[in-house]
Amino acid sequence: MAQLPQRAAPSASTIGEDPRHTRKAWSVLIVSTLAFTVCFMVWMMFGVIGIPIKKMLNLSSTQFGLLTAMPVLTGSLVRVPLGIWTDRYGGRIVMALLMAATVPAIWMMGYATEYWHFLVIGLFVGLAGGSFSVGTPYVARWFPKHRQGTAMGVYGAGNSGAAVNKFVAPVILVAFGWAAVPHVYAAIMLGTLVLFWLFSHSDPAHLVPSNVSFGEQLKALKDPKVLKYCQYYSIVFGGYVALSLWMVQYYVGEYGLDIRVAALLAACFSLPGGVLRAIGGVLSDKFGAHSVTWWVMWVSWICLFLLSYPQTDFTIQTVNGPTTLHVGLNVYMFTALMFVLGIAWAFGKASVFKYISDDYPKNIGAISGIVGLAGGMGGFILPILFGMLMDWTGIRSSAFMLMYGVVWVSLIWMYFTEVRRTDVMKSHNAAPAAH
């Protein structure tokens, strides 16, 4: 009697088409994106409350940069272990424990009075920033490969928590004082944790087998491509974090705006930089990670070149006497350029992680952790450098001068490793055809 053929194991695409699995996948995506949005809002808290704290403690620009950067430091350093633990134990439990761990620190921030208090507590609040490396592999594995770029883009739209912070924090700050902001945020984090636990799911099939060691998971980190992706992400994410923290005080200092108006205009950069990441995921799925990233870097180069130019007065000696000309961006042109830059970086954040899902489908957690670490470290180092440059030169736009130079490095690296290499391969393939 002939044996019936064994039923093949369901593929990722088949699983993704199962209605029950699809419902769970979208539930996971929605609730995880909400959790990441709240975590990012908390992570960016100093971008607004840091301004009254700076006045209260009479901080220099460098000290202010360090204050805003402290949460970013821990949120970056924990990304690699969190990504690995997500591969091993699952995103649901890791995300829930991470959110629960931040609540006490957020609450305590409201009672800080000394500079070192804010620095130390900020380190613990910064754990919330590690949520990205948990949610990225957690969400991606619920979707088939051809939809992973879109799924990770939607999840990454939680970066818009930086804009939410700029809408919510100034209202609380003006009404009740800066100390009320951490207390409200702690309550929001706790409520989000409950919602996440109720509507998220776990799937043992998404875990890395227990016989795979941490060392084996990290082997792919020796690949030079990972270093290149780290460089890209240090711009599109690290630069986004740094400027999100820096922009409110920039508007207040450069244009003399009220903190509420300054926060609203700064959100014109933060909001598209977060929400439109989902569109970047769709574009990356359709046109490829390289094409999207290449155009992102060129748009960034143009915007940062224009933003770098400081307010300048030229005095020209003419036949009719000296004539003075003013060159500089007004608040409207500045905001428009920041808006375009935010859109470009939103697409870039998604395209970098499309690289990762394409090249490392079985090791997304570890690779996204190390790339996220590089991006987060960019977000930590850049605000400090912004402050140092401003104290040294007295030029506020020096922050954009620095970012302009960093983008140059990525464009050159991308040209020699991707664009030129592709052209050479095409010419080699075309040569035999000519014969």
For the segment 402-425, what is each residue's pLDDT rounded down to a tens digit? 999 999 988 888 888 776 655 544
C-alpha span between 198 and 196 (Å, rounded): 6
Cα 274 from chain centroid?
8
C-alpha span between 63 and 114 (Å, rounded): 13
Paired sense of beta strands 321-327 and 312-318, if any: antiparallel
Whether the CB-CB separation of 239 and 410 falls below 8 Å is answered with no
pLDDT at 218: 60
Residue 242 is inside which H or E element, if any?
helix 238-255
Cα 256 from chain centroid?
28
Whether the CB-CB separation of 366 and 217 falls below 8 Å is answered with yes
Cα 312 from chain centroid?
32
Higher pLDDT, 9 or 57: 57
**Quick one: average pLDDT of 159-182?**
92
C-alpha span between 365 and 353 (Å, rounded): 11
For the segment 19-68, what is each residue's pLDDT rounded down to a tens digit? 887 888 899 999 999 999 999 999 999 999 999 999 999 999 999 999 99
* Mean pLDDT (the chain, rounded): 85
Residue whose entry in the numeric block shows the structure tokens 């903190």? 259
Question: What confidence category does residue 101 fall into, taking pLDDT thresholds of 50, 70 and 90?
Answer: very high
The partner residues of 314 in beta bridges, in order of sequence, read: 325
The amino acid occupying position 102 is T
Q: What angle do CA 363, 369, 372 make, to 5 degrees?
A: 135
User: Please, what sign has the CA dihedral across residues 368, 28, 71, 101?
Assistant: negative
Neighbours of 314 (CB within 10 A): 9
pLDDT at 123: 94
For the segment 120-169, what is each residue's pLDDT rounded down to a tens digit? 999 999 999 889 889 888 998 888 877 877 788 788 888 889 889 999 99
Q: Is the pLDDT of residue 360 over 80?
A: no
pLDDT at 272: 87
pLDDT at 14: 39
pLDDT at 157: 82
Percent with pLDDT over 70 in the chain: 89
C-alpha span between 300 and 379 (Å, rounded): 17
**Quick one: average pLDDT of 327-335?**
90
Residues 6+ away with beta carbon under 8 Å from 306? 329, 337
Residues 6+ away with beta carbon under 8 Å from 225? 355, 359
- Collapsing DSSP to helix, strand or coil, 282 comes out as helix
For the segment 275-328, what is each residue's pLDDT rounded down to a tens digit? 787 788 888 888 888 889 899 999 999 999 999 988 888 888 888 888 888 888
For the segment 334-346, what is each residue's pLDDT rounded down to a tens digit? 999 999 999 999 8
C-alpha span between 258 and 265 (Å, rounded): 11
Whether the CB-CB separation of 137 and 368 falls below 8 Å is answered with yes
The partner residues of 107 in beta bridges, in order of sequence, read: none
pLDDT at 403: 94
- Collapsing DSSP to helix, strand or coil, 213 comes out as coil
Secondary structure in 3-state letters for 10-37:
CCHHHHHHCHHHHHHHHHHHHHHHHHHH
Ranges of H-type helices in 58-90:
61-77, 79-89
**Quick one: average pLDDT of 348-357?**
85
Question: What confidence category does residue 4 fall into, taking pLDDT thresholds of 50, 70 and 90?
Answer: very low
Least confidently predicted of 117-121, 180-184, 209-213, 215-219? 209-213
How big is the chain, counted in residues? 435
> For 165, how many CA atoms within 13 A lie in the half-sphere containing its CB?
34
pLDDT at 338: 95
Q: Quick one: DSSP state of residue 114?
A: S
**Complete domains list, the chain, with CATH:** 18-428 (1.20.1250.20)
Least confidently predicted of 101-110, 176-185, 230-239, 321-330? 321-330
C-alpha span between 434 and 428 (Å, rounded): 10
Question: What confidence category does residue 5 fall into, taking pLDDT thresholds of 50, 70 and 90?
Answer: very low
**Quick one: average pLDDT of 203-216?**
67
